[in-house]
Amino acid sequence: MNLTTIKNKQTSKTPSFNNVKAKGEPYVWLTAMGLGVGLLMVVLLLGVIAINGISVFWPKKLVEITLTEQSDMKINGSNKIAGHISKKQIRKNGKKEWQLYVGNKDVYGFSFKFVDKDKIVSVERPKNIMSIERLEYGDAIGVPLWLKVKNVGEFAAGTKEFDRRLKTLIKGSHQLWAHIKQIEKKEIGKINRQMQSLALKKKVIGSKKEFDLVEKDKLFALDNKIELLQRDYQILAQQAQDLRVKVNEHTLGYRLVTGEEKVLPIGHIIHTVYPNKLNVWQQTKLFFYDIWHFLADDPREANTEGGVFPAIFGTFVMTVLMSMAVTPFGVLAAIYLREYAKQGLFVRCVRISVNNLAGVPSIVFGVFGLGFFIYFVGGTLDQIFFKSSLPTPTFGTGGIFWASLTLALMTVPVVIVSTEEALAAVSQGSREGSLACGASKWQTIQRVILPASAPGILTGLILAMARGAGEVAPLMLVGVVKLAPSLPLDSVAPFVHLDRKFMHLGFHIYDLGFQSPDSEAAKPMVFATTFLLIVLVVLLNLAAIIIRERLRRRYATSAF
| Longest CA span, the chain | 134
3-state secondary structure of 63: strand
Least separation in angstroms between CB 446 and another protein: 10
**Residue of 136, 223, 432, 490 that binds another protein (CB under 8 A):** 432
Dihedral angle computed from the Cα positions of residues 487, 493, 499 and 502, in that order, rounded to the nearest 10 degrees: 0
Residue 202 φ then ψ, to 5° = -60, -40
Cis peptide before 494 (omega within 30 of 0): yes
Q: Which is nearer to another protein, 336 or 385 (CB)?
A: 336
Least separation in angstroms between CB 428 and another protein: 8
Contacts of another protein in 433-452 (CB under 8 A):
433-440, 443, 447-448, 451-452
Contacts of another protein in 350-409 (CB under 8 A):
none
Cis peptide before 391 (omega within 30 of 0): yes
Q: Which is nearer to another protein, 54 or 435 (CB)?
A: 435
Range list of β-strands (E), 135-199: 139-149, 153-156
Q: Which is nearer to another protein, 283 or 430 (CB)?
A: 430
If phi > 0 it is left, if psi is from -120 to 50 it is alpha, else beta; for residue 137 that is: left
**Residue of 429, 491, 495, 517 that binds another protein (CB under 8 A):** 429
| Distance in angstroms (rounded) separating the CA atoms of residues 477 and 506 | 14
Q: Which is nearer to another protein, 231 or 447 (CB)?
A: 447
Asked if 459 is part of the footprint of another protein (rule: CB under 8 A), the reply reads no
Least separation in angstroms between CB 427 and another protein: 7
- The secondary element (H helix, E strand) that includes residue 81 is strand 80-90
* Burial of 453 per CB tally in 10 Å (0-12, 13-18, 19+): buried
Least separation in angstroms between CB 327 and another protein: 20
Is the Cβ–Cβ distance between 355 and 415 less than 8 Å?
no
| Distance in angstroms (rounded) separating the CA atoms of residues 205 and 256 | 62
Q: Which is nearer to another protein, 166 or 457 (CB)?
A: 457
* Burial of 218 per CB tally in 10 Å (0-12, 13-18, 19+): middle
Q: Which is nearer to another protein, 383 or 440 (CB)?
A: 440
Q: Which is nearer to another protein, 192 or 440 (CB)?
A: 440
| Distance in angstroms (rounded) separating the CA atoms of residues 377 and 319 | 21
Residue 295, C-beta contacts closer than 8 angstroms, at least 6 positions apart:
307, 308, 309, 312, 532
Is the Cβ–Cβ distance between 120 and 65 less than 8 Å?
yes
Q: Which is nearer to another protein, 306 or 451 (CB)?
A: 451
Contacts of another protein in 327-346 (CB under 8 A):
342
Q: Which is nearer to another protein, 6 or 437 (CB)?
A: 437
**Residue of 282, 362, 430, 541 that binds another protein (CB under 8 A):** 430
Least separation in angstroms between CB 335 and another protein: 17
Least separation in angstroms between CB 377 and another protein: 39
Q: Which is nearer to another protein, 422 or 536 (CB)?
A: 422
Q: Which is nearer to another protein, 415 or 448 (CB)?
A: 448
Least separation in angstroms between CB 550 and another protein: 13
Q: Which is nearer to another protein, 454 or 522 (CB)?
A: 454
Least separation in angstroms between CB 553 and another protein: 9
Is the Cβ–Cβ distance between 296 and 306 less than 8 Å?
no
Least separation in angstroms between CB 203 and another protein: 55
C-alpha distances (whole Å) from 536 to each of 19, 98, 323, 529 are 59, 34, 15, 10
First-to-last CA distance in the chain?
A: 63
Least separation in angstroms between CB 410 and another protein: 32
Residue 14 φ then ψ, to 5° = -90, 135
At 327, the amino acid letter reads: T
Beta bridge pairs of residue 134: 269
3-state secondary structure of 90: strand
Least separation in angstroms between CB 346 and another protein: 15
Least separation in angstroms between CB 557 and another protein: 5
- Report how many residues bind another protein under the rule CB under 8 A: 24
Is the Cβ–Cβ distance between 266 and 248 less than 8 Å?
yes
Least separation in angstroms between CB 431 and another protein: 8
Contacts of another protein in 536-555 (CB under 8 A):
554-555
Least separation in angstroms between CB 170 and another protein: 59
**Residue of 66, 427, 486, 541 that binds another protein (CB under 8 A):** 427
| Distance in angstroms (rounded) separating the CA atoms of residues 500 and 394 | 9
Q: Which is nearer to another protein, 414 or 449 (CB)?
A: 449
| Distance in angstroms (rounded) separating the CA atoms of residues 96 and 174 | 43
**Residue of 36, 175, 557, 559 that binds another protein (CB under 8 A):** 557
Q: Which is nearer to another protein, 418 or 558 (CB)?
A: 558
Contact residues for another protein (CB under 8 A)? 342, 427, 429-440, 443, 447-448, 451-452, 554-558
